[in-house]
Amino acid sequence: MSHRPFHHGNLRAVLLEQAEKVLRERGLDALSLRELAREAGVSHGAPRSHFPDRGALLDALAERGFLRLADEIRRAAARARDGLAPDRTPDAAHDQVRTLRAAARAYVEFAVREPALLDLMFTTKAEEPSAAVGAAERLFAALADLMAAGVASDAYPASDVGRLTLLLSATVQGASALVTSRRITPAQGEALVDDAIALLLAGAAAGA
């Protein structure tokens, strides 16, 4: 049997797509470079030109997950802002709540679609330099940008953005964990983040 070791120059992307599928359908334990090579129709050694070992593959999967989640959050927030009626009376505080809720719901929806990937993403240790850690910072930056928008509405001072971003991160990740462990339903998860955001912003405004 002849192999196509370069898979049209896109072997890395093909392997990651297949790895995500395996992770989604069969779980983390089913992932191996040898099996991915077989399913991609390449030699057993071909994946090692992109992933020296299984750990490198998992790191790349986690990186990919963080980047995609960050992008989905930004898009959800942008859609929420774009959906505002152009002739309405501006209400910066209400708009901030709407935007944060849209972003938080996008996070929970990602968790529902990709529970195994989300678990993998958060097994990466922050003190261990890797591509996944850098990508996690991009996710945190997306959340920080959303919280920073509240400063313009005088909801809270700029000095509170870091603290509130951590609270938002903990809230959406905690709600997502409850959903993916089936402790609560996805609908309850969305309601939970909606309530938490309302309380978070009310508390921030009271302390401003």
pLDDT per residue over 98-156, tens digit each? 899 999 999 999 999 999 999 999 886 655 667 888 899 999 999 999 999 888 777 78
How far, in whole angstroms, is CA 20 from its chain's centroid?
14
Domains annotated for the chain, with CATH where assigned, are 7-49 (1.10.10), 54-207 (1.10.357.10)
Three-state secondary structure call for residue 153? coil
pLDDT, tens digit, 9 for 90 and up, residues 47-58: 777 888 888 999
- Return the half-sphere exposure (C-beta side, CA atoms, 13 A cut-off) of residue 30: 12
Q: Give Cα separations from 11 to 16, 36, 41, 67 (angstroms).
A: 9, 11, 10, 20
Helix (H) or strand (E) holding 92: helix 92-113
Tens of pLDDT, residue by residue over 115-128, are 999 999 988 665 56
Structure tokens at 193: 């983040």
Structure pTM?
0.85
- The proportion of the chain whose per-residue pLDDT surpasses 90, expressed as a percent, equals 54
- 16 closest CA partner among 57, 63, 46, 48: 57
The number of beta carbons lying within 10 Å of the beta carbon of residue 185 is 12
